[in-house]
Copies of this chain bind each other. A is one copy, B any other.
Amino acid sequence: MTEVVIIGAGNVASHLFRAFRQSGEVQIVQVYNHRSEKLADFAEISTTTSLSEITQADLYIFALKDDAIAKTAAQLKDTGGLFVHTSGGVAMESLSKFKNFGVFYPLQTFSRNREISFKNIPLCLEASSEENLHKLKELGAAISENLYEINSEQRRALHVSAVFVNNFSNHLYQIGADICKKHEVPFEILRPLIAETAAKIEELSPAEAQTGPALRNDEKTINAHLELLNAQESKIYKLLTSSIQELHGKEL
């Protein structure tokens, strides 16, 4: 059974830990974090707060903040195992001090208290050799049905796309919630719309799914909307409206 050390104890680390344990195909032999209180969730297995105590294993997964990956790697000895990180924004080469290295990037948003099935999460894999890639595919297949070979440049593009579809969409939900609050309307009224907006994308391309006053060039509605918005909201409304019109003007 593949023996794995997880370096880090944040959301990605916890979710990977749980998924590997449930798979029954991977043995987590140790979890590292520099703060012991973060290791409470992993009490059933061996944990350490010292990089010098990290044990021998087949695979080391750096599930750390982007900035911490190279710094932590610099303090680790090369055991000959395969060293990978889980970041969308960091090049594979940040781990090139090791003989065997790669990337094991689960493209999903993780929250501490929200269960999520790993089965559907796309795993973006990259490795320093064919043999290492093969190992990552085996490991990935234990927890997910969606494996992709993605190089560092493609991963960077995916990461910025993820910011648009995830972080920025969520911010638009927040603006929607703020407008509702200001006008004493319960935000819950918008929840089925949010769900359907995302669900449509399972079947349609975003270009096909686009609707609304911007697409229709419905100036009367656009102006009525702008009257309700504060300065910042107006700026966003205008920019996204013109962006929709530019994109669809070109395409249609």
Q: Which residues of A contact B (CB under 8 A)?
A: 66-67, 89, 107-109, 111, 114, 116, 120-122, 124, 146, 148, 150, 153-154, 156-180, 182-187, 189-207, 209-215, 218, 220-221, 224-225, 228-229, 232, 235-237, 239-240, 243-244, 246-247
Q: In the complex, A98→B98 CA distance in Å?
A: 79
A-B contact pairs, 22 of them (CB 8 A): A66-B220, A109-B196, A109-B197, A111-B200, A114-B203, A114-B204, A150-B185, A154-B184, A157-B183, A158-B183, A161-B176, A161-B180, A161-B185, A163-B213, A163-B214, A163-B225, A164-B236, A166-B197, A168-B237, A171-B210, A191-B201, A198-B199
Do A197 and B170 touch across chains, with their CB atoms under 8 A apart?
yes
Number of copies: 2
Pick from B158, B178, B203: contact of A185, CB under 8 Å: B158
User: Which B residues are in CB contact (< 8 Å) with A244?
Assistant: 167, 171
Closest B residue to A184 by CB, please name it.
B154
* A173 to B, closest residue via Cβ: B206
A239 proximity list for chain B (CB < 8 A): 235-236, 239
Q: Which 6 pairs, one residue from A and one from B, show the smallest C-beta to C-beta distance?
A: A167-B212, A198-B198, A157-B183, A174-B206, A161-B176, A173-B206
Asked whether, in the complex, the Cβ of B240 is within 8 Å of the Cβ of A192, the reply is no
| CB–CB B228/A157 < 8 A | yes
Which residues in B have their C-beta under 8 angstroms from that of A204? 111, 114
With A180-B158, A195-B199 as known contacts, state yes or no: A172 contacts B169, CB within 8 Å.
Answer: yes
- Inter-subunit contact A107/B190 (CB<8 Å): yes
Report the minimal beta-carbon distance from A228 to chain B, rounded to whole angstroms: 5
Q: How far is the CB of A166 from chain B (nearest CB, A)?
A: 5
A52 to B57, CA, bound (A): 82
B214 touches A167 (CB 8 A): yes
A157 touches B177 (CB 8 A): no
**Complexed CA–CA distance, A114 and B210 (Å):** 14
In contact, A174 and B247 (Cβ under 8 angstroms): yes
Q: Which residues of B contact A203 (CB under 8 A)?
A: 114
